[in-house]
Structure 1
Amino acid sequence: MKKLILFPFLLFSVMAFSQQFGKLYVVAKSGLNMRTSPSIKADVVDIIPYGSAIEIKNENEELKSFVSENMMGFWQKVTYKDKSGYILDSYLIPWEVPELATVKEFGDYLKQVTKPFGKKLTVREMNTNLMEENGWQISKQLYENGAEWQHNSGYEYGADIYFLPGFSIQQGFLLLRLIPEFSNAIGENDAFPNKDVKTTRDEKEFTIKVDKEMFGDNPWYKKIDIEYEDGAYYMLQLFTIDNQLVISFGSGV
């Protein structure tokens, strides 16, 4: 009985989180096509440039879904420069997009979109030159937009963890695809991973693990792991906790 009650609640949660409203930003590098009707075959009214802010309103109307690059999105009616049309909302994110000429690492992106809130907290500080096998250190920094950065370091191991309020796993994937720091894990033309796979790129072996549940035709992605070796062993993880996306990128030998 509990499972029967939980199913519609989870389905509603998946659909509600997929359909975001308010000010969002175009994350497609080539721009986002605005069409005359909610169909990929419809004529293009205009191309909304990368980084443009778009207001998505909740019109309480039934939206048509569409899958692009393995990502489910919805056709949303918008107005841009006095023109109206439909765009696919799977290429929108809740924060300003990275400035491609200057953002090379995730830390650069945080500097672009927000400011630190308070001082950095070091939970346990150790001289890394003297750190033994059981030594470790954690640093944390909050930001004005609600983001959080953590750096964990230990003996021959290090990881950066980011908390991004309001992001989905799909949106996080699109964001990381634009930042060179993650280019080994996510190629510029990689589609969103929707199933477990082992593959090879640039003579590196990759293992991709996808944890998801299906509610009818709607996938609910719980976690994505991307693992590979490049001198050291690397792991990129994306998962959500309530309404926060967690990105963990670490390496060790």
Structure 2
Amino acid sequence: MKKLNRLIVLITLNTMLWGQEYMVLPDSGLNLRSSADKTSERLTNVPTGSIVQLIQRHHQLETIDGITDNWCKINANGREGWVFCGYLGRIMRKVTCSSVESLLPPGDAVTKSEIIDAKYETSPEPGKYVRKLTYFKSGIVVEHRSGYEYFADNYYFPEINIYEAFLIVKRCNELYSKISFPKVTKEKTIRFKQDKYMTGHAVIEKKAQGVEIRFEHYD
């Protein structure tokens, strides 16, 4: 009997507020520009991992590298300019997925934990089935399900964007297998190839109200 480890991350659309701090996500950093246009003057490059403060959000949406979002005016270490909002996020870059805690914002804490289902099943294999929900003050909810040679963790994030979802897949690769990663595209579904042993794959799928990430791995 193969063991199935499945992780689903459901992400709603990102909500960015004036005055809040965000992290620069791309490995190459972000070009700070003079106006809300990728052809405008480049003022400087804001390094990856930098913490910036949101000043203003442009009203017009634009699609860049398959990501639809606004431009944001930010303060980066005392210098103001515009960057594409789709590359700013709240998830820390050093996510490893080695534990639930690595996916949570700093200082987050459990507000409630409850077992909502627990029963003994005889099919397809005999064993105890448990479903548990854990709520965090940030709004994140973790659903853990376990059974005979099986477990699944569903992570529900209220406020991160598709680029952060893409980075979570890359960092969660440490838990699963060595997957080759495509670029973020305009397609509704982004598929990450299985490893050479055909034991794992991942899918990011854009939904009308957010993004779903599915990790599957067979031992």
Aligned-residue RMSD, C-alpha: 3.9
Over 3 Å counting, the alpha-carbon distance change for 1:127 and 1:235 in structure 2 is: farther
Task: Write out aligned runs for 1:140-151 (5 A).
Answer: 140-151=133-144
1:92 aligned residue? 88
Q: Give the alignment of 1:223-238 within 5 angstroms.
A: 229-230=198-199, 236=203
Q: Is the 8 A contact 2:111 2:137 kept in 1?
A: yes
Contact 1:168 1:240 in 2 (8 A): no
Distance 2:208 2:82 in 1: 31
Q: Are residues 1:65 and 2:85 paired?
A: no
Offset of residue 31 of structure 1: 1.5
Q: CA deviation at 1:161?
A: 0.2
Which residue among 151, 156, 168 is the counterpart of 1:158? Answer: 151
2-structure distance, mates of 1:239, 1:106: 25
Give the conservation status (yes or no) of the 8 Å contact 2:71–2:84: yes
Distance 1:196 1:248 in 2: 11
User: Match for 2:81: what amino acid?
Assistant: G
Which residue is equivalent to 1:83? 79
Give unpaired runs (5+ residues) of structure 1. 1-16, 205-228
> Given the two structures, how large is their TM-score scaled by the length of structure 2?
0.68
Please list the CA deviations of residues 35-92 of structure 1 after superposition, one character each: whole Å capped at 9, or x if unmatched. Answer: 2233333342122222333232446x54362412x21233222222232221111111
2:4 corresponds to:
none
CA distance in 2, matches of 1:182, 1:27: 21
Contact 2:110–2:136 (CA under 8 A) maintained in structure 1: yes
User: Which residue matches 2:3?
Assistant: none
Matches within 5 A, 1:28-67: 28-58=26-56, 62-63=59-60, 65-67=62-64
**Distance of aligned partners of 1:52 and 1:251 in 2 relative to their CA distance in 1, 3 Å threshold:** same
Give the structure with the larger helix fraction: 1
Counterparts of 1:106 and 1:124 in 2: how far apart (Å)?
A: 23
- CA, structure 1 residues 162+110, in 2 after alignment: closer, same or farther (shift >3 Å)? same
Q: 1:135 to 1:239 in 2, by over 3 A?
A: farther
1:151–1:161 CA contact under 8 A, matched in 2: yes
Task: Give TM-score, length-normalised by structure 1.
Answer: 0.61
